[in-house]
Amino acid sequence: MSLKQLAIIGPTASGKSDLGIKIAKEIDAYILSIDSLSIYKEIDIVAAKPSKEELLKVRHYGIDEIWPDEHFSVDIFISLYRDVVAACKKDGKNLIIVGGTSFYLKSLLDGLSPLPKITKKTETKVQERLKNLTTAYEELAQKDSSYMQKIAQNDRYRIEKALLIYEASGITPTEWFKNNPAKPIITDLPIFNIDVEREILRQRIKERTHKMYEMGLIDEVCYLEQKYTRAPNSMKAIGIVEVLDFLDGKVEKDEMLELITTHTAQLAKRQQTFNRSQFKDITHAKLEDLEAIILKSI
């Protein structure tokens, strides 16, 4: 059988996970989650992951893939997507991409530029230069200021990538990407976006925040801080930062919950704007109508 693929996107707390599982059972599909927090093991309550029971109903990828102190990026995500497609083809399954981090979905449609061939010698040279991250950044900024101004001076992963491109190709990252444009990974993908009124969404976010608290949000963040410290990027997520402020005595419990709700609602607004502006062929509909629309279209 030929592999059918579709994507279900929408703001946080809009009902994507439940809808994805329903459709997956209808069309015999695996699910690839595109959620920036669900990718991490042990970040469960904060990420509002599907329950263990729900995960047993349909095979999920993109959930519990890496540890909170490991780096995750678009190129790692695209590699994961290719592995999932291979698994679907091997098992005779279809694929549904579900989640709120639509930036990853856009990366599949836009593609990534190929990297130059990197030898062991180049890798060793780059690792040596990375021992002084500040100097490495400044040297790259002198050679390619337009590219490096998009990168933070402490972003080791992206500085390393820029160095590898420069050392392996002999040209700046800007020149490399100009000469090696990205090619789409997917060319034909039906995308369905859940439309939710802002007030309804905020109420759902508020209810979910209080449920997270009752499930043990504070204990989870305490455990994560003790095990991983506050340094990893994952520890700067909404829901974690506010709890850390509460633990530091900067806010009271009720204020913490209100801040999580407010910051999550602001994120949802950004997600809605992104979904409406970044995709050309996309179907927008209310949650209660989407199941029938999706099943009819495929």
Q: For 175-196, what is each residue's pLDDT tens digit?
A: 999 999 999 999 889 999 999 9
How much is the average pLDDT of 109-134?
93
Give the list of residues 6+ apart from residue 74 with CB closer than 8 angstroms, or none. Answer: 103, 104, 107, 112
3-state SS of 238-265?
A: CCCHHHHHHHCCCCCHHHHHHHHHHHHH
CATH code for the part of the protein at 120-179: 1.10.20
Question: For the chain, which residues make up each domain, given as ranges?
Answer: 5-111+184-297, 120-179
> What's the chain's average pLDDT?
95
pLDDT tens-place string over residues 241-283: 999 999 999 999 999 999 999 999 999 999 999 999 999 889 9
pLDDT band at 298 (very low <50, low <70, confident <90, very high): confident
Q: Could you identify the residue written with the tokens 């109508």?
A: 289
State mean pLDDT over 288-296: 95
pLDDT of 1 strictly over 90: no
Fold of the domain spanning 5-111+184-297: Rossmann fold (3.40.50)
Query: What is the structure's pLDDT at 75?
Result: 87
Model pLDDT, residue 247: 98
Residue 53 has pLDDT above 80, yes or no: yes
Structure tokens at 166: 């420069």
**67-99 residue pLDDT tens:** 999 989 888 999 999 999 999 999 999 999 999
Give the span between the Cα atoms of 294 and 298, in whole angstroms.
6
- Name the burial class of residue 158, with classes exposed (0-12), middle (13-18) and buried (19+) by CB atoms within 10 angstroms of its CB: middle
Give the pLDDT confidence score for residue 115 in this predicted structure: 87
**Rounded mean pLDDT, 22-48:** 97
pLDDT band at 112 (very low <50, low <70, confident <90, very high): confident
Q: Please state, for a pLDDT cut of 90, what percent of the chain lies above it.
A: 91
Fold identical between 5-111+184-297 and 120-179?
A: no
